[in-house]
Structure 1
């Protein structure tokens, strides 16, 4: 009987494109754009990426009830 060994390395992504960040948060992109206060990072010119750690902090804040939108924060997202 033959045996096979697989060596698989999995690297968790830290930075997400907008669609990936929305999916990570469990939201459609349209709702993610309106709800997410996390600012994207531009690692290279024209590439806006969302940091998974920042998304986790935002989600944790929402879960704890610590997130409160002000008029300014809502306008900043538009």
Structure 2
């Protein structure tokens, strides 16, 4: 009997488009745009992407109740 080996490599993207960022957070795009304080980064002219680490930080801050502090820290980094 023949056997087959698959070598699959999956690389998680760090930078996400707005629709991907919304899916990542579990929010519809409409709600993501209205509630997420994370600013997208323009890596290429006209291409705005959200840093997954900033989104994670925002979610962690929301969970701990310090969302206002998180917004200021994110803005300082930009």
Normalising to structure 1: TM-score of the pair? 0.84
Are 1:39 and 2:39 counterparts? yes
Distance 1:9 1:65 in 2: 37
Question: 1:7-18 maps to which residues of 2 (within 5 A)?
Answer: 7-18=7-18
Normalising to structure 2: TM-score of the pair? 0.84
Q: Gapped runs of 5+ residues in structure 1? A: 74-78
Q: Which residue of 2 aligns with 1:21?
A: 21
More helix by share: 2
Q: Which has the higher contact order (CA 8 A, sep 6+)?
A: 1
Q: Which residue of 1 aligns with 2:5?
A: 5
- Segments of 4+ moved more than 4 angstroms: none
Distance 1:14 1:68 in 2: 24
